Amino acid sequence: MLMRNNIHSSKLVVGQLVAEPGTRMEGRLKVGSMPDGTAVRLPVVLINGRYPGKTLYIQAISDGDELNGIAVIHKVLQTIVPEQLRGKIIAVPLVNVHAFHTKQALNPVDNRKMNRCFPGRRDGTSSERIAYHLFRRAIKQADYCLDLHQGGVHPMIDEVRVRVDEKHTLHGACLELARIFGIGYILNQKGPKGQLAQAAPELGIPTIDPELGGTHGWDAASIEKGVRGVRNVLQHYHFIDGTPQVPEQQIVVKQFVPLLSNEGGFVYYRAKLYDQVAAYQPIADIRDVFGNVRESIRSPVEGIFWAKPIYPMVASGGIIGKIGTPIEYLQ
């Protein structure tokens, strides 16, 4: 329950934006300029709770075509009452503004993937500079970070990624944060250099990378899972009242095994995403342009059918899906 007599007085400051205790502030953070001199500004929402507590940082659209996360932020923030909040929330609904406007994953200014650029560089490329400003002004203030992603426009299960090595001092805290998010599927694998979920833990900030499905535009089911996940985090870490809805048992995998086609043709799947498949189980048939089966593709390992391409055709040597393996269980 809230401690009504335990009121704090510290401001929440990001750049020129200031939120007093018990208030919400919306504004923009300058991170660069366009060729015509127009300022590039990222939208920022600050919610400074009336009561003391931790600070949560949450961002979306690090890749310009991954839109589910912004809907999650919209829905969650609509439910937060600053007068009842313990702690602080910093939300950046749109990170990769250049890629967003061109409806593509990569920043067209430097052709970089934003989530390979953290903690950023003050004198770096466009993506590195945006990452630098966010990391220095906002992310470093956080106690926990949520970097909302999805599998681009490619169909994928809803899952959460832990991107630090198992020997990392914060691995346990990141895995616990993933468990509390509570989607039910976790990839526990060290990520590429420059990911926020790898850079922030270097400063002692537990961070996860929820991957909310994969689709063109928005997917309602994935968005609702994301909303539930963020609220689980807010409840578990005592930002708001309530009991997290966390599955009793969650599946954890450590790697993806690609399914490759030897024959070019059209893919007819015999397994569905989320299916737990056995080694050598048929996953898909490849049919030629006349509809004849040219090849049956089997899973080389036991695991979860995790992801597949958006289009139902493939060239020789193309990937028709990925299996998450080996299966472990987290309670």
Residues 39-80: tens digit of each pLDDT: 999 999 999 999 999 999 999 999 999 999 999 999 999 999
Residues 6 and 51 sit within 8 Å (Cβ to Cβ) = yes
Q: How many domains does the chain have?
A: 2
Q: Are strands 303-307 and 276-277 parallel, antiparallel or unpaired?
A: antiparallel
Shared domain check, 84 and 38? yes
Q: pLDDT tens for residues 201-219?
A: 999 999 999 999 999 999 9
The predicted pLDDT at position 2 comes to 46
| Same domain for 170 and 187 | yes
Instruction: Kindly tell me if the per-residue pLDDT of 12 is higher than 80.
Output: yes
Do 77 and 216 share a structural domain?
Answer: yes
Among 247, 280, 309, the domain-final residue is 247
- The pLDDT, as a whole number, for residue 8 is 81
What type of residue is 283? Answer: I
Distances in Å between the Cα of 59 and the Cα atoms of 63, 134, 194, 258, 280 are 11, 10, 16, 29, 40
Kindly tell me if the per-residue pLDDT of 117 is higher than 80: yes
Which of 74, 196, 209, 198 has its CA nearest to residue 151?
209
Q: Which domain does 289 fall in, by range?
A: 252-330
Of 221, 247, 273, which marks where a domain is finished? 247
**50 lies in the same domain as 104:** yes
Q: Residue 92 in contact with residue 59, Cβ under 8 Å?
A: yes
Query: ω before 326 within 30° of 0 (cis)?
Result: yes
Q: How far apart are CA 46 and CA 28, in angstroms?
A: 11
Claim to verify: residue 56 and residue 73 sit in the same structural domain: yes
pLDDT digits (tens, 9 = 90+) for 175-193: 999 999 999 999 999 989 9
Q: What separation in angstroms does the CA of 122 have from each of 95, 137, 193, 245?
A: 16, 12, 18, 41
Same domain, 178 and 293: no
Residue 179 belongs to a domain: yes
Check residue 7 and give its pLDDT.
Answer: 80
Cα–Cα distance between 261 and 66 in angstroms, integer? 27
How far is Cα 180 from Cα 178, in angstroms, rounded to an integer? Answer: 5
> With left for phi above 0 and alpha for psi between -120 and 50, is residue 141 left, alpha or beta?
alpha
Q: What percent of the chain has pLDDT over 70?
A: 98
Query: What token pair was written down for 94?
Result: 């749109």
Distance of CA 212 to the CA centre of its chain: 7
Within 10 angstroms of residue 323's Cβ, the number of other Cβ atoms is: 25
Question: What gap in Å lies between CA 284 and CA 153, rounded to an integer?
Answer: 21
Whether 179 and 280 share a structural domain: no
Same-domain pairing of 55 and 173: yes
Report the percent of the chain where pLDDT is more than 90.
97
Decide if pLDDT at 5 tops 80: no
pLDDT at residue 3 tops 90: no
How far apart (Å, rounded) are the C-alpha atoms in residues 38 and 44?
18
Mean pLDDT of the chain: 96
